[in-house]
Amino acid sequence: MRKLRFIIIILTAGLAMSSCNKFLDVKPKGKLIPSEVVDFDHLLDHTWTVQYIFLDNNGGSMVGYLNDNIELSEGMGKVAYKANNHPNVDRFYAYTYRKPYRNPNTSDYFWDWGTYRAVTYYNNIIDGITGLKQIGAEDQQYARSVLAQARSARGFQYFLHNLLYGPVYKPGTANNTRTIPYLTNADINAPMVDLSTQEEVFKLAANDMHSALPDAPANTNWPSRANKTAVQAMLAYYHLFTRRYDSVAHYANLAWTGATATGGPDKVLYNYNQFTWTNPANTVSSTIKAQDNFLEAVNSREILLYRSEDRGAGRSSSSYPSEEFIGLFDAATDLRYTYFF
């Protein structure tokens, strides 16, 4: 009898372990647990990789106020922002160059919601694909393409983030100010890395973008993903800050040639001579009709790499174009003035 009980206990435990393993093999409905290249590829489609880059919790951007192209009235600043305790008063502080723009004791949306949340996805993609034990021959190029999109996005995002948090980069000097941590490990239990110097961030970002270029796909399914032309444009922009203008011209020419290879300039630029108003009798409340329906869409022909933007700066409810900026356009002949001012 005792032997029978023992056998029953062993069998029950075995069945329980078998059931547990089968349960763990089942992916929860509606949840993505990456285990193949295609699973990691889908992570690139998550909105958090594009939605909050340099935007605050109300969808605006302090960075948009650090320039001379907009004006903010004294009344708007004192009343709308300061007197009413606007949650994003840092925009007003940025406009007046009053530091610190943000409260250093509170969470920074640029950091938490923006760059580092997006990079979490890129790092998981990179570590996940490189950690796969076996990738079929037919998926090798596919895997390299996904890695290229993740690496270029990570490098370019860290590069921009470094520009925001660090001083102006000066070629030929040490550039040893510590700015941001360049996290490349997807393991949340890994030890936190130290702040990288500005020079280190530039080199790491360049390495990410350069390593991505050979395998970047010619086309992607959405402009939030970097194709080869976008990576070339990233490198052109990067070299503006290293002041290697021969490299700027080199990568800019590659990007332009690639983007216009099929379809010519009309594929990437709008002809303002073909713009019309949806309601010509009332242009103030009218919208602009371009050659297609995508002028203000994320897949506008003039968007090379889509990221969410501050759509309030420059509009009357938030700020308005400065006289200096408007003065750059000929009111009589420049169609940009006609349609946008």
Please give the Cα distance from 235 to 53 (Å, whole number).
19
What pLDDT was estimated at residue 85? 83
**Domain range spanning residue 46?**
34-215+317-340
232 close to 214: Cβ distance less than 8 angstroms: no
58 domain-assigned: yes
What pLDDT was estimated at residue 313? 79
Please give the Cα distance from 158 to 181 (Å, whole number).
9
Mean pLDDT of the residues in the chain:
89
* Torsion angles phi and psi, residue 188, rounded to 5: -70, -15
Please give the Cα distance from 82 to 88 (Å, whole number).
10
Instruction: Report, as an integer, the average pLDDT of 27-42.
Output: 77
Instruction: Report, as an integer, the average pLDDT of 20-32.
Output: 50
Closest CA to 106 of 125, 87, 92, 122: 87
pLDDT in tens, 202-219: 999 999 999 999 999 999
277 domain-assigned: no
Most confident of 22-36, 178-192, 200-214: 200-214
Instruction: Report, as an integer, the average pLDDT of 35-51.
Output: 94
What pLDDT was estimated at residue 47? 94
What pLDDT was estimated at residue 7? 53
Please give the Cα distance from 112 to 161 (Å, whole number).
12
Instruction: Report, as an integer, the average pLDDT of 32-52.
Output: 91
- Taking each helix axis from N to C end, the angle separating 140-165 and 116-130, rounded to the nearest 10 degrees, works out to 150
Please give the Cα distance from 177 to 200 (Å, whole number).
10
296 domain-assigned: no
pLDDT in tens, 231-273: 999 999 999 999 999 999 999 999 999 999 999 999 999 999 9
Of all residues in the chain, the percent with pLDDT exceeding 90 is: 67
- CATH number reported for the structural domain that contains residue 162 in this entry: 1.25.40.390
For residue 125, pLDDT over 90 is answered with yes
Q: Which residue has the tokens 């349960």?
A: 23
Please give the Cα distance from 225 to 125 (Å, whole number).
13
For residue 172, pLDDT over 90 is answered with yes
Going from the C-alpha of 129 to that of each of 29, 76, 85, 182, 219, the distances in angstroms are 23, 50, 46, 20, 21
DSSP state of 192: P
For residue 277, pLDDT over 90 is answered with yes
109 domain-assigned: yes
48 domain-assigned: yes
Rounded to an integer, what is the distance from CA 128 to the centroid of its chain?
21
Q: How many domains are contained in the chain?
A: 1
For residue 311, pLDDT over 90 is answered with no
What pLDDT was estimated at residue 22? 46
Please give the Cα distance from 180 to 193 (Å, whole number).
10
| 235: Cβ contacts below 8 Å, ≥ 6 apart | 206, 209, 210, 213, 247, 251
Query: How many Cα atoms occupy the beta-carbon half-sphere of 325 within 13 Å?
Result: 12
pLDDT in tens, 99-110: 888 888 888 899
332 domain-assigned: yes
What pLDDT was estimated at residue 57? 84
90 domain-assigned: yes
120 domain-assigned: yes
Please give the Cα distance from 304 to 227 (Å, whole number).
9
